[in-house]
Amino acid sequence: MKALIVGGGIGGATAALSLNRAGWEVEVLEQAGTLTEVGAGIQLSPNGVKVLRELDVMPALDPFVYQPETLSLRRGKSGREIFNIPIKDIAEQRWGARYLQVHRADMLAALQVTLEARVPKAFRLNAKVTGYSQSADRATVHLEDGQNLDADLVVGADGIHSAIRTQMIGPDKPRYTGNFAWRAVVPMERLGELAPPPSGCVWAGDRKHAVTTRLRGGTLANFVGVVEQADWIEESWSAEGSKEQALKDFGGWHPVLRSLIENADNMFRWGLFDRAPLKKWSDGRVVLLGDAAHAMLPSMAQGAVQAFEDAFVLARHLSDADNVADACEAYFKARINRTTRIQDRSAKNLSLFHRRGTAAQVGTFGPMWLAGRIAPNTLLAPLDWIYGYDVTKT
């Protein structure tokens, strides 16, 4: 049985590894001429690390990960700590795997190296897919250069602007949330005493918040800053913005955050768009995965990790399936409630740290401050259903 996987990014590469592990022949179709990844940091929660561990990706990834000491929340302007919960020594015990931070490029490279060691020449570059067709026993993808490629299964892992989803479902209907995000990666050596803390740290403030992490073994600092703005902003990972505007957006905020912006080579920004859950992820032998199926806001840091879970569950359903279409439908039924719940939680979390005015901030952050000092487990418990989940054993 052969699968053609549309999209050579993180979701597509994980799908290829999962299906190969289940005994399928795989080929990944990537429209770009090189295998590269834009973006910045990924927070790999334990539910995602379990999948990577089972697929034996961790030996290639481990040299590049950073394991944060804590999860923390601070006030954006003063830097005052609201809570700071140790995570490094308890993640594996509580959730079954480590909590890691990694650069997207390193994540993709580890997946590529692992896949190509098992399936040489698994990636076909310069292969832009424009659509698909199918018969009772085959699925066909159509390439921009006129080629048609046949397989038993087509996996649409081609991201938020998925051509496969557009044909299957119709035109995308994203909703601008009224927020956009800045992002940058800065070498730690430039920051000196203003380096961000060794944690997954959220900095909360009036109508905006920031997140700082560390990448590549702690040699890079990662900055994401989410700002409310009514005007529509393009949904693009590669759109550049001005450093001056970023500094203006975070004017008066803590020196650690301003130093990150000042020392960045480039500042990128993208609009944050919400999407309603889809009513289906498959059409016969053609199936969606990752962002193509359920694009998520970054507020729960689950986008990449849910693609890992998708890939593993899809492969499980296809491993001994008599009917490919039925297996794809069963995969959707197995995943839709969880991904919808995480989509919803991500949307609600987007404005959680944007409280306006002293009363609202005290009402939100006061109980968190108290819990962090007398009952920190109450702050971790809401994450248990996400981080403790293990698709490799479910």
Give the max Cα distance, the chain: 65
Per-residue model confidence (pLDDT) at position 35 = 74
Cβ–Cβ under 8 Å, residues 83 and 376: yes
Per-residue model confidence (pLDDT) at position 204 = 93
Residue 28 has φ and ψ, to the nearest 5°, of: -105, 125
Q: Return the SS3 of 119.
A: coil
Q: How many CB atoms lie within 10 A of CB 330?
A: 18
pLDDT digits (tens, 9 = 90+) for 317-335: 999 888 999 999 999 999 9
Long-range Cβ contacts of 243-246 (<8 Å, 24+ apart): 243/267, 246/182, 246/184
Per-residue model confidence (pLDDT) at position 210 = 96
Helices (H), the chain: 10-21, 46-54, 58-61, 91-95, 104-118, 163-169, 243-249, 255-262, 291-294, 303-319, 324-349, 358-374, 377-380, 384-387
- Degrees to nearest 5, angle at CA 27 with 21 and 31: 135
pLDDT digits (tens, 9 = 90+) for 125-164: 999 999 999 998 999 999 999 999 999 999 999 999 999 9
**CATH superfamily membership of 2-33+125-173+277-350:** FAD/NAD(P)-binding domain (3.50.50.60)
From the candidate CATH numbers 3.40.50.261, 2.115.10.20, 3.90.600.10, 3.30.9.30, the one assigned to the domain spanning 39-107+176-274+355-394: 3.30.9.30
CA-wise closest residue to 167 among 274, 279, 282: 282
Per-residue model confidence (pLDDT) at position 305 = 97
CA-only gyration radius of the chain, Å = 21
How far apart, in whole angstroms, are the C-alpha atoms of residue 255 and residue 267? 17
Instruction: Give start-end residues of each CATH 3.30.9.30 domain in the chain.
Output: 39-107+176-274+355-394
Residues of the chain where predicted confidence (pLDDT) is lower than 70: 37-39, 233-238
In the chain, count H helices and then E strands: 14, 19
* Residue 66 DSSP code: B
Per-residue model confidence (pLDDT) at position 354 = 84
Q: What is the pTM of this model?
A: 0.94
Instruction: Give start-end residues of each CATH 3.50.50.60 domain in the chain.
Output: 2-33+125-173+277-350
Beta bridge partners of 220: 187, 215
Cβ–Cβ under 8 Å, residues 141 and 129: yes
How far apart, in whole angstroms, are the C-alpha atoms of residue 346 and residue 358? 24
How far apart, in whole angstroms, are the C-alpha atoms of residue 211 and residue 190? 19
Per-residue model confidence (pLDDT) at position 197 = 95
CA-wise closest residue to 342 among 45, 28, 70: 45
